[in-house]
Structure 1
Amino acid sequence: MAKTKTRDRMNNEINAGSMADIAFLLLIFFLVTTTIAEDKGILVRLPPWSDEEPDITKLKTRNVYSVLVNAQNELLVRENPMRLAELRANAKEFISNPNNAPDMSESPRNAIISLKNDRGTNYETYLAVYNELKGAYEELWDELSQRRYGEPYSEDMEFAKRKAIKEEIPMVLSEAEPTNFGEEQ
């Protein structure tokens, strides 16, 4: 009878039975620890839903700053053509009305900005117009914060200070239903 060597008796295979368990645990670990980037888009707080009919009151046209954007991406502000570069300064002047002009808002609390687009308006133009209007409010908030508290308006400010500034100059931006393609000329 031939002698068997110990080398022949030892099996050189690796037990792979627990490999599936390890791979599963690694998969769970990476799923739990990975964060998924989320697009935020335009941060706009919508009014709460209501089944009641809205109270339609006659607004003073003096307090409404209407901005129309047509299919050719041209601006019509209070029935006058305007370039995008002029929009922010013009909106700031309308909202604050420093000279008490009779054709501008009575006060920042009464100012309403109405934005209406054509369905053919480019999204880039819509965003640029929206950013200019929002920027007008941000500049007004910053100016008021500098006058009142001696610091720039930011999210790091005390909540009470931010609230007081936004109560004095509330951002009222109304977006109307877009018109059909090419309807606004």
Structure 2
Amino acid sequence: MSRRNSPSVNSGSMADIAFLLLIFFLLTTTISAEKGIKRQLPLDCIGQENCSKSVAEENLFTIVTNAKSELMVNNEIMSISLLRPKLKAFIDNNSKGYCTYCSGEQSPSSSQHPTKAFVALDVHPKTKYDFYIQIQDEISGAYYELREHYAQTILNKPASDLTREEIQTTRKAYPFNLIE
């Protein structure tokens, strides 16, 4: 029996083809960058070891979670659906009557002024991450709605039409004071 030489495939250009395919997929693929939760530390705290500031108890809105992802707000167990309205009422309270743009009920047990209201968030390490994100969404949503209302009533504009200076004015009226 004679052995025939079987035809072989020229593999010299295979590496070139694989390289071209690799370049093609690298150039055409989009990689999404996760942005996370955008929070900025107060400027007077950056670079300091002791960043503590005394806050009056009536100006502190406390949110605590446990390992079972249950929510307690100001020592009262609450569902997450009630967090936003309760927080808005706390921030916009105006207990001392100094705020000219607030429309709160002026309860002596809630914040004196939106600029003095602080939200303290204490999250248990075993709390589910999606529950933490829901809490962050509710806090951000409360501030957004208060700023939107301020823009509508005081500046007579929707928040989407505000100039840079007007946005800064609304942020000063309702500053985002979060302690984690």
TM-score, normalised by the number of residues in structure 2: 0.75
Give ranges in structure 1 of 5+ residues lacking alignment. 1-19, 176-185
- Aligned-partner Cα distance in 1 for 2:91–2:162: 23
**Residue matched to 2:81:** 85
Question: Alignment length, in residue pairs?
Answer: 159
**Residue matched to 1:72:** 68
Amino acid in the other structure paired with 1:129: I
- Aligned-partner Cα distance in 1 for 2:49–2:22: 52
CA RMSD of aligned residues (A): 2.6
- Aligned-partner Cα distance in 1 for 2:85–2:19: 59
| Structure 1 residues 47 and 31: alpha-carbon distance in aligned structure 2, compared to 1, 3 A threshold | farther
CA deviation after TM superposition for structure 1 residue 150, in Å: 2.3
Q: Does 2:174 match 1:174?
A: no
- Aligned-partner Cα distance in 2 for 1:53–1:163: 28
Q: Does 2:133 match 1:139?
A: no
Q: Does 2:129 match 1:123?
A: yes
Give ranges in structure 2 of 5+ residues lacking alignment. 1-14, 94-103
Q: Which one of 29, 46, 49 corresponds to residue 41 of structure 2?
A: 46
Among all aligned residue pairs of Structure 1 and Structure 2, give the percentage whose two residues are the same amino acid: 36
- Aligned-partner Cα distance in 2 for 1:60–1:149: 30
- Aligned-partner Cα distance in 1 for 2:25–2:131: 40
Q: Which protein has greater RCO, CA pairs closer than 8 Å, 6+ apart?
A: 1
SS at match of 1:171: coil
- Structure showing greater radius of gyration is 1
